[in-house]
Amino acid sequence: MTEQLKKKTDELLEELKLKNTDIQEYIDNNRNSFIEISLKEFWTELLERSQKSKSNIINSADISYIYFYEILQGKKIPKKDKIIRLIIAMELDLDDAQNALKYCNQACLYPRIKRDSLIIYAIENHYSIFQTQALLSENGEQELQ
């Protein structure tokens, strides 16, 4: 049997929306389209791509050492603001931020929400955590927790 190519998210969604979809058949036919990576592997990949030291990320993200290592080991699933802190500290891009949010079952950044727009701007312009906090505060939005 030839291996099926990965399908786009929209294609998968359309298949799921069909009334006559057999879920087991759907799963069997789309095995290559599912994300098959542990949280530990996911965060390790991002860490490697960032080329930042762990201590630099911890300090830049302004999060606790223990919490950071629990995330890296896949023991903790961070909330939205912590994910954003990590992405900013790792100096990664918006795509990485959105993927991290999705992978951790958090809402993606949405430009129609003022606070999210400010965060997107900060990520795209390589703001530090402290610059991002100031931007949020200056615009009457809650700072990253």
Domain ranges of the chain: 7-36, 39-138
Q: Which pLDDT belongs to residue 5?
A: 57
**For the chain, what is the mean pLDDT?**
93
> Binning pLDDT at 50, 70 and 90, where does residue 26 land?
very high
pTM for the whole structure: 0.82
Name the burial class of residue 44, with classes exposed (0-12), middle (13-18) and buried (19+) by CB atoms within 10 angstroms of its CB: middle
* pLDDT at residue 47 tops 80: yes
Q: Which pLDDT belongs to residue 44?
A: 94
